């Protein structure tokens, strides 16, 4: 029976190495570190398909296996997935986390811009007011009134 990854591995090797195409590796350590990293970065799906620990192998931690079966992985699972050869899933999680963080940052930036625009609008309105309008816009508190009366000797 033909290995389902044969063609993809062959093409990967031709595209990324000047060496002659080797036999199909059984485990990642059958390839050089350089080729392992190239495969992880350039073709994580192939890496996962060739070297992952299977769901039915009994070698995955139970919680990780359960989340894989339910397709409910956590952002914290990326390193553990990578440890068991699930490179594509690890990168997918990291990409989703990065997109989430970017969206969160964009929302913060947008909120900041709105606050700045509102503050600029208030500053502009304040600068266009005359003295009486400014006094009406910010009336004195009862405490300020009492202190001013005492200070200037009014109403004694």
CA distance 112 to 137: 25
For the chain, 156 residues long, give each residue's pLDDT as a single digit of tens: 688 999 999 999 999 999 999 999 999 999 999 999 999 999 999 999 999 999 999 999 999 999 999 999 999 999 999 999 999 999 999 999 999 999 999 999 999 999 999 999 999 988 998 888 888 888 888 998 889 888 888 876
* Model pLDDT, residue 156: 64
Residues 12 and 43: beta-carbon distance below 8 Å: yes
* Model pLDDT, residue 51: 95
CA distance 8 to 106: 38
**Within its chain, how far is the Cα of 25 from the centroid?**
33
* Model pLDDT, residue 62: 94
Longest dimension (CA), the chain: 107
What tokens appear for 143 in the block? 């405490």
């Amino acid at each position: 029976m033909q290995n389902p990854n044969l063609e993809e591995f062959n093409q990967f090797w031709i595209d990324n190495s000047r060496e002659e195409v080797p036999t199909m590796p059984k485990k990642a350590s059958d390839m050089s570190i350089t080729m392992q990293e190239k495969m992880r970065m350039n073709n994580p799906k192939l890496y996962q398909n060739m070297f992952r620990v299977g769901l039915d192998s009994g070698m995955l931690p139970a919680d990780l296996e359960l989340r894989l079966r339910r397709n409910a992985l956590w952002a914290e699972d990326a390193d553990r997935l990578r440890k068991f050869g699930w490179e594509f899933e690890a990168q997918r999680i990291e990409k989703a986390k990065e997109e989430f963080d970017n969206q969160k940052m964009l929302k913060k930036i947008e909120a900041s811009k709105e606050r700045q625009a509102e503050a600029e609008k208030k500053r502009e309105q304040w600068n266009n007011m005359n003295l009486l309008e400014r006094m009406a816009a910010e009336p004195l508190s009862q405490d300020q009134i009492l202190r001013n009366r005492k200070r200037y000797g009014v109403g004694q």
